Amino acid sequence: MAEPFSRTPRGLTARFTPEEVQVLTRLFEDVALALEPEEDPNTDPLAALVGISEKADVPADPAVARMLPVVSDDPEVADEYRRFTDLSLRQAKISHLKLAAMDIQAGTVHLDTEHAKAWAAALNDVRLTLGSRLGIISAADAERVGEQTDWDRVETTEDYMALLYNFATWLQESLMQALLIGLEED
């Protein structure tokens, strides 16, 4: 079983079993893949270079839409914002997810504060994706998913995703607690 993040002389440290490494790596990679922008052969190279999307629609995948939400009730403002930020937001999220996927390969992870922020963002995107797939939109939904705690009682894909969601939540909470302890000490 994983050991939660804690403060050590080497930074924020957590340990994972080989099976947990494999599962978390797959989660990080799958979420990063979902965030990859669609290729458009007609994209203006200069616009792409500076991170502007000529046409940035709200993502069709509900999980990606949850990670890249509409920022305004005014459709014109929301479209403009998405046009200028969609690519850079996707790239930042993918970078955090890939970083976490690489870090975890060692089984024991040591993070400094900045690195921990990238991990927190990656775990949050994993949770948003799983939460979307599980239909978590209310406290009651979250409570229903939170009740799934026994790996031996997994019968459906939803049961498995609920356990992954709960594991990612526990891991992110331990990371945030370790970060808070560091703030209190500073």
Q: How do the pLDDT tens digits run along the chain, 186 residues long?
A: 789 999 999 999 999 999 999 999 999 999 999 999 876 656 665 555 555 666 778 889 999 999 999 988 998 998 888 888 888 999 999 999 999 999 999 999 999 999 999 999 999 999 999 999 999 999 999 999 998 888 888 889 999 999 999 999 999 999 999 999 867 665
Nearest to 3 by CA among 101, 149, 109: 109
Q: What is the mean pLDDT of the chain?
A: 89
Question: Nearest CA to 169 among 139, 146, 140?
Answer: 146
pTM of the model: 0.89
Beta pairing partners, 109: 14
DSSP bridge partners of 41: none
